Structure 1
Amino acid sequence: MTSAAPVATESGVPLRKPRIGLLGIMQALYDHMIPGITERQSGYAREIADRLADVADWTVGRPVKDRTDAEEVMREFVNADLDGVMVVLLTYGPAMRVARLFNENRLPVLLANIQPEPQVTAAWDMADMTYNQGIHGAQDTANAMVRADRSFEVITDDWRAPEFAERVDRWARSARAITAWKSLKVGIFGYAMNDMGDIRVDENALLRALGPEISFVAPGDLYRGSLEVPGAEVDALIAWENARFEVDPDLTAAEREDHARMQLAIEKILVERGYRAYSTHFDAIGEDGRFRRLPLAAASSLMAKGYGYGAEGDALAAAMVYAGHQLIGEGHFTEMYAMDFPSDSILMSHMGEGNWRVARDDEPVRLIHRELGIGRLEAPPTFLFRYRPGPATLACLVSLGGERFRLVVAEGEVLDAAPLPQLEMPYGQFRPDSGVRACMDGWLAAGGPHHQVLNVGRHAEDWRVFCRSSGIEFVQV
């Protein structure tokens, strides 16, 4: 049997550009006042898209002037499988023409409060006033969306300014992540860890409110799949690892083959069943009775390929790692292990799963032989690396009951700290900008769970926009 799962590659999975529609709103009244205004403002809309070509792939709709036009263009955007819609008032346009549209719309929306010219001058006549009068149309349209209780983002700026492109880029990436979440399937191999409360969620509420769907995979599917992986694919993965990583000579051939077969079997299941995130709980693997070791290294390399991952059956963490990939790139699963008060930092790590793309650049990533009693199985090959020093952001999703969710975020810095030679798993020391005491007080008060996604860089504002556009409460600590 031939496996459908591709062998890991150095490039991973590149993120595509966000796909965004530009909905330009006008009204027919001005056609009689200023002949040619529709063509002129339509050109303005195309100029905006051209200027933002590096930010997204744009679909510019024809200017809409009534309810029928607007709803037809929006249907075209939905049918084109776009990630979101940027609304631009090309002139004033009464909101009642789009009120029902935005009440029913489910695509992320950005209301760009912009105008063709950045400055009012003495040369302006009535035509110039009309070309640049989108501001009160934006007010009317925003009022309609607020009344409809729809989440949306707003940007007011000179559309030629670099800051405008930066803010549109942030929103477009959040729209891409939100859209990806709406079709996300999370596969849980076995079951979630018993008695671990902060990973629990009402699966129906999560699906209704945000989109991720949780389903469970029999460990037997993984066992049978690992037996069916062709030997040539096993050899290819091992050869790739030999070329890419520093491989521990103590690793046995049996350990390498077991690991490779489990990774390839997991990915084959993910590909064939449409999962973009997953979890393997050590008890579910250990208690099955057919496995020799845990698939820890598999989680590291599959995260590096763009899959979401959460340990112990944590679907919320798996979904967050996937969102971290889509919003920012290089999502990394981790948890807070211990506080170090002298350095005002927190030791971050997990049992052995970690995205090696966040490893520091001046040390090799090692694939090691490692004795591990958890799961009561044999030694699992594990990637060992230290996190890259520099700015970093932690984020986690809190289920508040029903369809209410909260996202807790902390910005800070991964310290260039001394190695911890006894640790045989990925690790780093994260110093929150607010300090350990204030950060942890806020984290616990907000109900932040113990599994997180870490991204390199400062990205609280990215997560804030993601929350505003998806109706999630945002808390920064």
Structure 2
Amino acid sequence: MTLLTPIKPVRKPRIGLYSVGLRAYWEQFPGLRERLEQYGVFIEQKIAQWGEVFNYGLVDTESEGRQAGEWLNTQNVDLVFCHAATYSTSSTVLPVHQINKAPVVFLNLQPTERMNYDGSTTGEWLAHCGACPVPEFANAFNRAGIPFKVVNGLLGLDYTPDISLTNEVTNERKEAKRAWLEIEQWVRAAAVPRTLRHSRFGFLGNTYNGMLDMYSDFTMIQAQTGIHIDVLEMCDLDRMLREVTPQETKQKLDEVLAMFQLSGDSPSDPIARKPTEEQLEWSCRVAAAQEKLVREYDLDALTYYYHGAPGGEYEKLQGGFIVGHSLLTARGIPCSGEGDLKTAIAMKICDILGTGGSFSEIVVVDYVDETILLGHDGPFHIAISEGKPILRGMGLYHGKQGTGVSVEAKVRTGPITTLNLTQTGDGKLKLISSEAESTNGPIMRIGNTQTPVKFRQHPDDYMSRWFAEAPTHHCAMSIGHNASLFSKVGELMRIKHVELV
């Protein structure tokens, strides 16, 4: 086990697949059916890299379509790919999705980049005419009120079947690579609703007083995302703390020393100093209790905040939160501060997709570099850090009670995407994503996470557009350009997605 081994693995998406054709063709054109079925097996094997695949096979009549719909229901699939292998009537396909309600994506994947015009036969053409029925499918689905998406491109074989009269080696062509990247994104995105529907989010303490953007109706959140919210008390964590042994504290200290570097005193900020042995020992003991809490309540994510009375036991307890919650975030249990449940969900989406998801807000604008620093006073997603994060001892937490150890770090340089989950005036959730670049610009040495981010617009123009979308003021920062991936998550969860470009 490594220090970044997930405490709970992401659930694999369950993907339905079937190919379509016209039954009258099989007797007319010997070998065509078997050829199309082999294309379907190729697609199945490719998709199996990213999810569990349930391939019904060929559907060629409306009655077969009904059987396929019932069979897909028994497989509890999250997403269905309909491979338009050749022409098929829309009456063959529509019943599948009137019975099975999983989202559907049509695959228009032509096996060849160009027909052998001089040597082609009708049977050969029919093996390559997958685009022919897709407009008919689109019309029927639109009139039936069933949403759908289409992936267009080349099949991407690395060989040519013996029966073929043309070249079918297309795996290196851009049209095949683009199509398979889109298919991969659909499959990966399908892991998000499946995992969320089986997720338990802990809500420890309360929301920071007065942050109206973060208040949400737990029932509304569960209705739109499928997550269960477990309301936890500080006394639950305190009970865990009392069970922590010296050996468990030492084990956490070993983890901390492996994953962080310890700071000296900040050269600029008198409240940011070298962590004391007492502060480190306390943070590690609290971290051990935090992991116990996650395991006892079987949590997949956690949002937290506790103010507490000055000098109280729980004030001291929450002062040790940031290190342990950073460790948990790195191991697949995203933790968001200030009781921001919506951003915990955004962080979990990023984590399910393997792109990180670090807790952030606007820190300051650098008008010289034209970057916006994004970060927070913790926690931080260690797995996407630029080098080892730094631990600083804090004489106080600004705007909060207590003292303790905080994380100073930046997300690694390169492409990033922010993901914001907000709530609109009509009670609907909305995703907002922005692709940008993390730069190697300077950061302050004040014990906070900070990443200089260069968006595609001037900071003022970008902020105007972002503020106009009425976001939650926190967001999750992921590595990579993921807006297309996040948009597919929104489609599958039936949550509106806005990309700021």
Taking structure 1 as the reference length, what is the TM-score of the superposition? Answer: 0.88
Mapped contact 1:23–1:88 kept (Cα < 8 A):
yes
Displacement of 1:388 in angstroms is: 1.9
Q: Which residue of structure 1 lines up, in the alignment, with residue 82 of structure 2?
A: 87
Mapped contact 1:297–1:381 kept (Cα < 8 A):
yes
Mapped contact 2:11–2:194 kept (Cα < 8 A):
no
Q: How far, CA to CA, are the matches of 2:357 and 2:468 in structure 1?
A: 25
Q: Which residue of structure 2 lines up, in the alignment, with residue 4 of structure 1?
A: none
Q: How far, CA to CA, are the matches of 1:208 and 1:286 in structure 2?
A: 38
Which of 463, 481, 487 is equivalent to 1:458?
A: 481
Q: How far, CA to CA, are the matches of 2:415 and 2:79 in structure 1?
A: 29
Mapped pair 1:64 → 2:90: no
Q: 1:308 to 1:111 in 2, by over 3 A?
A: farther
Bigger-Rg structure (1/2) = 2
Unaligned runs of 5+ in 2: 157-175, 265-273
Q: How far, CA to CA, are the matches of 1:205 and 1:100 in structure 2?
A: 32
Q: Which residue of structure 2 lines up, in the alignment, with residue 50 of structure 1?
A: 45
Mapped pair 1:218 → 2:205: no
Mapped pair 1:380 → 2:404: yes
Show CA shifts across 1:28-79 (max 9, x none). 3323323444332211101223345545453322212345544544555555
Taking structure 2 as the reference length, what is the TM-score of the superposition? Answer: 0.84
Q: How far, CA to CA, are the matches of 1:201 and 1:104 in structure 2?
A: 34
Displacement of 1:375 in angstroms is: 7.5
Query: SS of 2:394's equivalent?
Result: coil
Q: 1:92 to 1:284 in 2, by over 3 A?
A: farther
Q: Which residue of structure 1 lines up, in the alignment, with residue 339 of structure 2?
A: 313
Q: Which residue of structure 2 lines up, in the alignment, with residue 126 of structure 1?
A: 122
Q: 1:318 to 1:286 in 2, by over 3 A?
A: farther
Q: How far, CA to CA, are the matches of 1:133 and 1:403 in structure 2?
A: 45
Query: SS of 1:187's equivalent?
Result: strand
Query: SS of 1:338's equivalent?
Result: strand
- What is the CA RMSD across the aligned residues, in angstroms? 2.9
Q: 1:207 to 1:152 in 2, by over 3 A?
A: farther
Query: SS of 2:453's equivalent?
Result: strand
Which of 142, 153, 158 is equivalent to 1:157?
A: 153
Q: 1:372 to 1:109 in 2, by over 3 A?
A: farther
Query: SS of 1:395's equivalent?
Result: strand
What amino acid is the match of 2:343?
A: A
Unaligned runs of 5+ in 1: 1-6
Displacement of 1:396 in angstroms is: 0.4
Mapped pair 1:426 → 2:420: no
Show CA shifts across 1:114-150 (max 9, x none). 2333323322222223323332332333334434444
Query: SS of 1:157's equivalent?
Result: strand
Show CA shifts across 1:254-273 (max 9, x none). 43343233333333333343
Q: Which residue of structure 2 lines up, in the alignment, with residue 192 of structure 1?
A: 207
Q: How far, CA to CA, are the matches of 1:81 and 1:271 in structure 2?
A: 28
Matches for 1:215-254 after TM superposition, within 5 Å: 215-248=230-263, 250-254=274-278
Q: How far, CA to CA, are the matches of 2:440 and 2:309 in structure 1?
A: 35
Mapped contact 1:26–1:90 kept (Cα < 8 A):
yes
Mapped pair 1:439 → 2:452: no
Query: SS of 1:337's equivalent?
Result: strand
Mapped pair 1:9 → 2:3: yes
More off after superposition, 192-201 vs 146-155: 146-155
Show CA shifts across 1:272-331 (max 9, x none). 434211111132698974351241112211111112232211111000000011224211
Q: How far, CA to CA, are the matches of 1:405 and 1:25 in structure 2?
A: 36
Query: SS of 1:410's equivalent?
Result: strand
Displacement of 1:12 in angstroms is: 4.4
Mapped contact 2:70–2:99 kept (Cα < 8 A):
no
Q: 1:51 to 1:101 in 2, by over 3 A?
A: closer
Count of equivalent residues: 468
Query: SS of 1:416's equivalent?
Result: coil
Q: 1:222 to 1:145 in 2, by over 3 A?
A: farther
Matches for 1:55-454 after TM superposition, within 5 Å: 55-67=50-62, 69-74=64-69, 76-77=71-72, 79-80=74-75, 82-103=77-98, 105-122=100-117, 123-160=119-156, 161-248=176-263, 250-283=274-307, 289-292=313-316, 293-361=319-387, 364-373=388-397, 377-402=401-426, 404-421=428-445, 423-454=446-477
Q: Which residue of structure 2 lines up, in the alignment, with residue 30 of structure 1?
A: 25
Mapped contact 2:4–2:383 kept (Cα < 8 A):
no
Q: 1:121 to 1:434 in 2, by over 3 A?
A: same
Q: 1:71 to 1:320 in 2, by over 3 A?
A: farther
Mapped contact 1:177–1:327 kept (Cα < 8 A):
yes
Displacement of 1:378 in angstroms is: 4.1
Displacement of 1:10 in angstroms is: 3.8
Displacement of 1:334 in angstroms is: 0.8
Query: SS of 2:120's equivalent?
Result: coil
Q: How far, CA to CA, are the matches of 1:30 and 1:226 in structure 2?
A: 70
